């Protein structure tokens, strides 16, 4: 396949960025999107052009680092996948592809397609954990009875990989789907009940401090989430938040 690529280039967070056009051929339908980017970078290096910076790690849909906005959609024109799981069979010979970084004030651009998502880390550090003394004869978690429905819901919420597609897709750049998933994965379980009040208050406060927008229930975040995190978690987080405030 021969493709016309329109890619955002930006030297650093202080520089003014812009789109640059590249033409690439010999792309096979079986290549992943990131493999196509690798081929392009090899071509640029051969031509003594600075290669395009983009995030990637596991390339198995687990780490969430391969966050690209492709033709106006987070992770590209497929559902329930990350960018590394997107294959070039989704495109046709001669197609034009626009590739951008995730756009959000709270995700400042580091270089080219790489954004700083450490705001998510700070939200997680503010309350997304359970404090427990593991020394001595601590009771095994598996011995605590938990309703299967609650365990399933907690596991579904815990599948969030923190890629940021919800933020990039939301017109308000809201992080509420991410935060609610991290709150819910504990709130369903007895181990998370002890710190439930402090957790939701601290995580919501940190989310606001990071400059993320509010949720207006458009549902775009759920549609583009590669792990299918439900917006029901947002409703649950709101209940937890108001209960903690009262």
Pairing type for strands 109-111 and 114-115 reads antiparallel
Q: Is 14 helix (H, G, I), strand (E, B) or coil?
A: coil
Q: What is the CATH number of the domain that holds 104?
A: 3.10.20.30
Same domain, yes or no, for 92 and 170?
A: no
Q: Within the chain, what is the greatest distance between any pair of CA atoms?
A: 64
Same domain, yes or no, for 83 and 179?
A: no
Total tally of structural domains belonging to the chain: 2
Q: Quote the DSSP letter at residue 140.
A: P
Same domain, yes or no, for 90 and 172?
A: no
Same domain, yes or no, for 126 and 202?
A: yes
Q: Answer with the one of 87, 111, 135 that is the final residue of a domain.
A: 111
Same domain, yes or no, for 238 and 123?
A: yes
Q: Answer with the one of 50, 78, 111 that is the final residue of a domain.
A: 111
Q: Answer with the one of 111, 134, 163 that is the final residue of a domain.
A: 111
pLDDT tens string, the chain, 246 residues long: the values are 999 999 999 999 899 999 999 999 999 999 999 999 999 999 999 999 999 999 999 999 999 999 999 999 999 999 999 999 999 999 999 999 999 999 999 999 999 999 999 999 999 999 999 887 766 666 676 778 889 999 999 999 999 999 999 999 999 999 999 999 999 999 999 989 999 999 999 999 999 999 999 999 999 999 999 999 999 999 999 999 999 999
* CA-to-CA dists, residue 89 to 50, 54, 93, 111, 153, angstroms: 27, 21, 10, 28, 34
Q: What is the CATH number of the domain that holds 217?
A: 1.10.1060.10
Q: Is 24 helix (H, G, I), strand (E, B) or coil?
A: strand
> What pLDDT sits at residue 141?
66
> What pLDDT sits at residue 42?
97
What is the domain range of residue 143?
Answer: 118-245
For residue 95, the tally of other CB atoms under 10 A from its CB is 14
Same domain, yes or no, for 65 and 170?
A: no
Same domain, yes or no, for 122 and 235?
A: yes
Same domain, yes or no, for 74 and 140?
A: no
Q: Which tokens is 69 given? A: 């906005």
The pTM of this model reads 0.93
Same domain, yes or no, for 91 and 153?
A: no
Q: Which tokens is 40 given? A: 């392009």
The CA-based angle 225-123-14, given to 5 degrees, is 85
> What gap in Å lies between CA 128 and CA 195, rounded to an integer?
10
Closest CA to 41 of 5, 85, 91: 5
């Amino acid at each position: 396949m021969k493709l016309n690529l329109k890619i955002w280039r930006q030297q650093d967070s202080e520089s003014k960025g812009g789109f640059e056009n590249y033409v690439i051929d010999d792309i096979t339908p079986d290549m992943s999107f990131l493999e196509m980017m690798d081929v392009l970078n090899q071509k640029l290096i051969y031509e003594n052009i600075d290669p395009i910076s983009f995030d990637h790690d596991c390339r198995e849909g687990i780490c969430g680092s391969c966050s690209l906005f492709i033709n106006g959609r987070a992770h590209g024109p497929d559902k329930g996948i990350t960018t590394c799981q997107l294959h070039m069979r989704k495109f046709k010979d001669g197609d034009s592809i626009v590739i951008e970084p995730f756009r959000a004030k709270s995700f400042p651009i580091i270089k080219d397609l790489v954004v700083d998502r450490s705001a998510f880390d700070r939200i997680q550090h503010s309350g997304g954990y359970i404090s427990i003394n593991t020394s001595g004869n601590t009771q095994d978690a598996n011995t605590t009875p938990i309703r299967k429905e609650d365990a399933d819901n907690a596991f579904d919420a815990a599948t969030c990989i923190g890629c940021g597609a919800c933020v990039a897709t939301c017109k308000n750049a809201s992080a509420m789907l991410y935060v609610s998933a991290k709150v819910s994965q504990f709130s369903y379980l007895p181990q998370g009940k002890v710190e439930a009040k402090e957790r939701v208050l601290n995580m919501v406060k940190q989310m606001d401090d990071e400059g993320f927008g509010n949720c207006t229930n458009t549902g775009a975040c759920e549609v583009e989430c590669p792990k299918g995190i439900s917006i029901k978690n947002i409703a649950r987080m709101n209940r937890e938040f108001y209960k903690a405030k009262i």
